[in-house]
Amino acid sequence: MENKHSAQNTTLLRQVFANIQADSCPKHYNFHMHTNCSDGKLTPEDLMKQAIAIGLQGMAITDHHCLDGYYRAAQWLEAQAIESPYLWTGIEITAYLPPVDVHILGYGFNPLEPSLAPYLTGREPRGVDARAERVISALHAAGAIVVLAHPCRYRRLPEELIPTAVSLGVDGVETYYAYNNPNPWIPSFEQTETVKRLGNSYNLLHTCGTDTHGLNLLQRL
């Protein structure tokens, strides 16, 4: 039985994803953020302070190929005795989905699962470990919900990319994403409609996130 406050509570997370809408991010939920533990500028502690000030209800730090940001954020929340926002485990992994590299997001997983070891080195995986099917399988072995990040950012049409990702077992797509870094943040309408339609046709979960790399959780850069 999953602890209702566990960072691995995928039952609750699926319920959240099932109700994500265009206005869910960035004021209520944000499932794509980076700290200075990978290629972001915010410390994990400052990121959490912003998340609380914004009033986020649920979130995940998705640093590239490492979990240091998540651990520090979780420790900070515990030290502050703060229960909101709900912080799930998260990660972003570069994977090869022929003929392009894509980014795979994992949520709600057991960070100690041995299958994740090749993806927690702080560097992009190489060789067979970089194959999308291997990445997806490793995340699933750790109990993760697996999501294709920003499906319209690659040099392959989402109409081609998403069915391929589905065939390899992804659970969802990052539907609500701002592709041109608008201010204020708002999901790109045309791309959102395309990804939402494709996601619905394959019964996928829909996620949202600002993909923050800068100093403001309400922006990408």
- Residue 52 belongs to domain with CATH number: 3.20.20.140
- Domain-located, residue 188: yes
Give the 3-state secondary structure of residue 49: helix
- Answer whether residue 121 is part of any domain: yes
**Assigned domain for 186 exists:** yes
pLDDT digits (tens, 9 = 90+) for 42-75: 999 999 999 999 999 999 999 999 999 999 999 9
Q: Is residue 214 part of a domain?
A: no
- Give residue 140's domain range: 10-17+24-208
Domain count, the chain: 1
How many angstroms separate the CA atoms of 86 and 15, rounded? 13
Distances (CA, A) of 62 to 30, 135, 194: 10, 15, 24
Asked if residue 5 is part of any domain, the answer here is no
Domain contains 4: no
**In a domain? residue 218:** no
Give the pair of three-digit tokens for residue 82: 């703060």
Are 92 and 103 in contact by the 8 Å Cβ rule? The answer is: yes
pLDDT tens-place string over residues 166-189: 999 999 999 999 999 999 999 999
Instruction: Establish if 78 belongs to a structural domain.
Output: yes
pTM assigned to the model: 0.96
Residues 187 and 178 sit within 8 Å (Cβ to Cβ): yes
